[in-house]
Amino acid sequence: MESSLATRVSVVAAALDPTLLRRWSDLALTRLAGVRGQIDALNVYPVPDRDTGTNLYLTFEAAHQALSAAAGKDAVEQVCALGAGALRGARGSSGAILAQLLTAAADAVAEPAALTPSELFAAVLTRAADAAYAAVQQPVEGTMLTVVRAAADAARTATEQRTDATGAPAPAAAAKRRDLDSVVAASAAKAAEALEETTDQLAALHDAGVVDAGGWGVCVLLDAAAEVAGGSRTDRSYPAPHSGVPSCGTTTAWGSGPSYEVMYLLDAADDTIAGLRERLSRLGDELVVVGGDGFWNVHVHVDDVGAAIEAGIGAGRPHEVRVTRFADQTTAATMTREAPEESGRGLPRTRVGVVAVAAGPGLAALFATSGAIVAGRPGEGCSATDLLAAIRATRCSDVLVLPNDRRTLEVAEAAAAAARHDGLRVVVIPTRAQVEGLAAVAVHQNGRTFDEELVAMSAAASHTRHGAVTVARHDAMTTAGPCRTGDVLGIVDGDFALVGGDLEEVALAVVDRLLGAGGELLTLVVGSAQEGTAAKVAAHVQHRSPDVEVAVHQGGQQQYPLLIGVE
């Protein structure tokens, strides 16, 4: 097996650039996060459950995490990790199709063939389109399938035209790169054209006046690829559905179609899948079965949930089963053997769960002491998957989420949308700093209603001014002026306000600015700063403003030696 893989690597190494792959994955995830809500709003086909953008984001996030974990491995293994991550984390029919696209891409790059980068790109898209059509029991034009097929055809045509025009030996590296730029750009442009045409290809899209939601997701991925390959950024926007279009929860929205969406992972021999497809196709529609080599992701819309799961049992071992009732987007059953706590049904409404993101172990302990579940690993960033797991771990049907970082807000909103789809009531309080989250969780009380908790915690967070002290890692121009590597930067309410050379001096200046508008409580959260610095800041405040209470905590955060909050 190792020698076979080595052979594959040797023939694709020249065409596949792992650095470009990782840059594309980073950018694509960011772009999907930015338009997730807009794509959700366009989701009227096959059912208007308004979750396509969220499902695509969560599926690609799972792929992105798997790719990141494979950093340092060879090119083929990284692409395979991308596909495997998507397959395991796929949500909804759009996510299942995206997983098939990415796993098919892995199959394409693993085939031994001497290809230029543009030829490999065209081959990957063609294989992905073929596999996606094959995975869907009844392919429908006017969907993301149509868009990816148009992109593949355009890439193949552009590659063939380039070959015919040159008719010369393999070009130099720079020319190969330019060739890839033009082919990816042509593919992305054709996908956008195909997306515009979807409105007139399906009655549901035409009646709502929208393009296909999943197709937009495909365009986001291709536009990111074009940008990484050397093009400029492309931002697309499409009108929301006409007013009066049935939405989630209305009887007319669902018509006479199946009432439930069933998804599960399946460990099963490949030769059992044809029989599984046949049995599930008799039970319902929107059947998508993706995977291979003994591991599958199954998606279907049915009325008989038990029969759909029994079909999986007949083929192999289903696990991580998720069942959603369309009519009210409430989880009818979440039957995962490994994690039964994921069910939203029967969870207590007598208390409100709180989820927080912590920038360090000390901060995590502070949040946990106040009754919050900490998402992910403190100080290591937090994914939507981490947040969704933490939301479920509260074992509450009503949950408030504290992202505590500007960059985590979009991620938290995606996790909240997915949790709502599973029947939980989740609201993200837009805390943009750790000290805002601490202020919010400090007023958390068991026994209050959801609305009471939301109002109290939101008010506490909004009444907290925040600052920080950090050290510049490289020369840059900031809103406070130029800085050099090693300079101390003072931050006030999210903006750079001071550049200095001494951490203590900058910290005192930040505190004075924050207290200039008044305050009753000063919170200092110590990271890598010396404890003496916090003590001197506290003494300074107590001398100048004796009525201000000072609290000092060990946060353990790495990026900011000192976090500062004023309430």
Residue 176: give the domain boundaries: 2-249
Residue position matching structure tokens 């959801």: 450
Backbone angles phi, psi at 509, to 5 degrees: -65, -40
User: In terms of domains, do 11 and 148 share one?
Assistant: yes
Among 432, 462, 492, residue at a domain's last position = 462
- For the chain, how many structural domains are there in total? 4
Q: Check residue 196 and give its pLDDT.
A: 96
348 within some domain = no
d(CA 443, CA 414): 26
Q: Alpha carbon of 5 to those of 82, 111, 113: distances in Å?
A: 17, 10, 13
Q: Model confidence over 107-152: pLDDT tens digits? A: 888 776 667 888 889 999 999 999 999 999 889 999 999 999 999 9
Please measure the distance between the N-terminal and C-terminal CA atoms of the chain and give it in whole angstroms: 61
Residue position matching structure tokens 């692409």: 79
Using alpha carbons only, give the angle 488, 492, 497 rounded to the nearest 5 degrees. Answer: 55
Q: Check residue 338 and give its pLDDT.
A: 37
What is the b/e burial string over 47-68, where b = at least 16 CB atoms within 10 angstroms of the residue's CB? bbbbbbbbbbbbbbbbbbbbbb
Nearest to 58 by CA among 391, 397, 300: 391
Residue 149 near residue 133, CB atoms below 8 Å? yes
DSSP 198: G
Half-sphere exposure (Cβ direction) of 302: Cα atoms closer than 13 Å: 24
Residue 332 near residue 305, CB atoms below 8 Å? yes
Q: Model confidence over 202-252: pLDDT tens digits? A: 998 998 999 999 999 999 999 999 999 888 888 888 988 876 555 444 433
CATH number of the domain encompassing residue 396: 3.40.50.510
Q: Check residue 150 and give its pLDDT.
A: 96
User: In terms of domains, do 379 and 315 share one?
Assistant: no
Q: Check residue 75 and give its pLDDT.
A: 83
User: In terms of domains, do 216 and 109 share one?
Assistant: yes
Token readout for 18 is 């792992």
347 within some domain = no
Residue 193 near residue 154, CB atoms below 8 Å? no
Three-state DSSP state, 257: coil
Alpha-carbon Rg for the chain, nearest whole angstrom, is 26
Q: Check residue 437 and give its pLDDT.
A: 95
Token readout for 146 is 């149509």
186 within some domain = yes
Task: Write down the H helix ranges in 378-449.
Answer: 384-393, 409-421, 434-442
Q: Name the stretches of the chain with pLDDT < 70.
A: 1-15, 112-114, 161-178, 243-256, 327-350, 529
420 within some domain = yes
Backbone angles phi, psi at 384, to 5 degrees: -60, -35
User: In terms of domains, do 361 and 428 share one?
Assistant: yes
Q: Check residue 162 and give its pLDDT.
A: 58
User: In terms of domains, do 320 and 416 share one?
Assistant: no
Q: Model confidence over 63-80: pLDDT tens digits? A: 999 999 988 888 889 999
